[in-house]
């Protein structure tokens, strides 16, 4: 497979060094290599990450906010080496998990958002007031006192995103955020994400989620298989995935 070099459309904020840089990154988990010698410079505003289950997408995402550290090589995010600046990363890199129930820590909506504000240094009283203001800005003022378990999946995912955005991160990393959402809810979230000023790294299996994206990276068995314009990479990946499914028919792997 050919490796497509991209004519990078660098925006003003990233005019200097690339915003995110992975340099010869190797990562092992449980004695198995998950990422092997991955080098990437991610400067575009909207970047998609695709690949089969187990291709290393989630691990790569977790390298960006310091949840995982590379075994070899280095990762730099907006000027911060993840190994040296682990404590500062959560404010630079907002992370959205696949299952909102794994992410929400507090029993009510206002507390969940208030926690982020407190983490960003606000005193508690101010954090509470601001949480209400934030909800009002998103047209969800009536959510403040709601118990989080009473929200629908889509509402929970929206809450997760709002709670992360109030920390004003420079990058938003979303790890398969649409897995349990219906199409309408997904489209709404996509539109909201599209309107954000942040750099966005989206890991998703929904191949139609990347319209308007600047670049898509396809990971295969821990390596970059293809990297370039969304249409080209997604089409190539789709061909590959369908062919693999065809080859497996009658074989032993489902």
Partner 1 sequence: MISLYLAERTWAHGVPAGWKLLALALISLAITPFDSVALMGGLLAAVLVLYVSLGRAALRQVALLRPLLPLLVILLGLHWWTGSLTAGIAMVLRLLAMILLANAVTMTTRMDDMMDAVEPILRPLALFGLSPRAVALMVAMMLRFVPLLFALWEALGESYRARTGKRGGWRLLAPFCIQTLRLSHHTAEALTARGGAPRGKRR
Q: In angstroms, how far apart are the furthest CA atoms of the chain?
A: 63
Considering only 13-21, 35-43, 84-92, 228-236, which stretch makes contact with partner 1 by CB under 8 A?
84-92
- Write the binding mask 40 to 79 for partner 1: x where contact by CB under 8 A, - elsewhere: -------------------------x-x------------
> Would you state the structure tokens that stand for residue 155, as one six-digit string?
């509402």
Do residues 220 and 51 touch, judged by C-beta distance below 8 A?
A: yes
The single residue among 24, 29, 83, 124 that binds partner 1, judged by CB under 8 A, is 124
Closest distance to partner 1 from the beta carbon of 122 (Å): 10
For 195-231, letters b (16+ CB in 10 Å) and e give eeebbbbbbbebbebbeebbbbbbbbebebbbbbbbe
Closest distance to partner 1 from the beta carbon of 146 (Å): 6
Closest distance to partner 1 from the beta carbon of 27 (Å): 16
The single residue among 26, 36, 99, 180 that binds partner 1, judged by CB under 8 A, is 99
The label of the residue with tokens 């101010």 reads 126
Cβ closest to partner 1, residue 93 vs residue 226: 93
Main-chain phi, psi angles of 94, to 5 degrees:
-80, 140
Cβ closest to partner 1, residue 47 vs residue 172: 172
Q: Which residues have a Cβ under 8 Å from the Cβ of 139 and sit 6 or more positions away?
A: none
Cβ closest to partner 1, residue 14 vs residue 164: 164
Cβ closest to partner 1, residue 101 vs residue 182: 101
Distance of CA 33 to the CA centre of its chain: 22
Closest distance to partner 1 from the beta carbon of 103 (Å): 4
- The answer to whether 123 contacts partner 1 (rule: CB under 8 A) is yes
Cβ closest to partner 1, residue 115 vs residue 210: 115
Of 82, 52, 51, nearest to 67 (Cα)? 82
Instruction: List the 32-42 sheet strands across, edge first.
Output: 32-42, 20-29, 72-77, 80-81
240 CB burial (10 A radius; 0-12, 13-18, 19+): middle
Q: Tell me the HSE value of 241 on the side-chain side, using a 13 A CA sphere.
A: 16
The single residue among 21, 46, 128, 225 that binds partner 1, judged by CB under 8 A, is 128
Do residues 64 and 57 touch, judged by C-beta distance below 8 A?
A: no
Closest distance to partner 1 from the beta carbon of 198 (Å): 15
Residues 168-197 that bind partner 1 (CB under 8 A): none
- Judged by the rule CB under 8 A, the positions of this chain that interact with partner 1 are 65, 67, 87, 90-91, 95, 97, 99, 101-108, 110-111, 114-116, 118-119, 123-124, 128, 145-150, 163-164, 167
């Amino acid at each position: 497979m050919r490796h497509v070099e991209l004519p990078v459309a660098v925006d003003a904020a990233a005019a200097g060094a690339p915003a995110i840089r992975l340099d010869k990154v190797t990562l092992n988990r449980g004695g198995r290599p998950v990422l092997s010698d991955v080098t990437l410079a991610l400067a575009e505003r909207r970047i998609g990450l695709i690949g089969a289950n187990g291709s290393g997408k989630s691990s790569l995402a977790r390298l960006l906010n310091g949840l995982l550290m590379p075994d070899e090589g280095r990762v730099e995010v907006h000027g911060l080496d993840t190994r040296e600046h682990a404590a500062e990363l959560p404010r630079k890199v907002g992370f959205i998990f696949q299952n909102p129930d794994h992410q929400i820590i507090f029993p009510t909506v206002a507390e969940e958002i208030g926690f982020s504000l407190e983490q960003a240094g606000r005193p508690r009283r101010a954090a509470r007031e601001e949480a209400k203001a934030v909800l009002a800005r998103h047209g969800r003022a009536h959510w403040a006192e709601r118990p989080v378990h009473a929200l629908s999946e889509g509402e929970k995912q929206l809450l997760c995103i709002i709670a992360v955005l109030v920390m004003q991160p420079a990058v938003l990393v979303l790890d398969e955020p649409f897995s349990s959402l219906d199409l309408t809810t997904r489209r709404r979230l996509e539109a909201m994400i599209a309107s954000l000023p942040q750099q966005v790294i989206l890991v998703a299996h929904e191949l139609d989620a990347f319209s308007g994206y600047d670049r898509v990276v396809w990971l295969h068995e821990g390596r970059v298989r293809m990297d370039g314009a969304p249409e080209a990479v997604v089409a190539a990946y789709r061909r590959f995935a369908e062919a693999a499914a065809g080859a497996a028919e009658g074989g032993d792997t489902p």
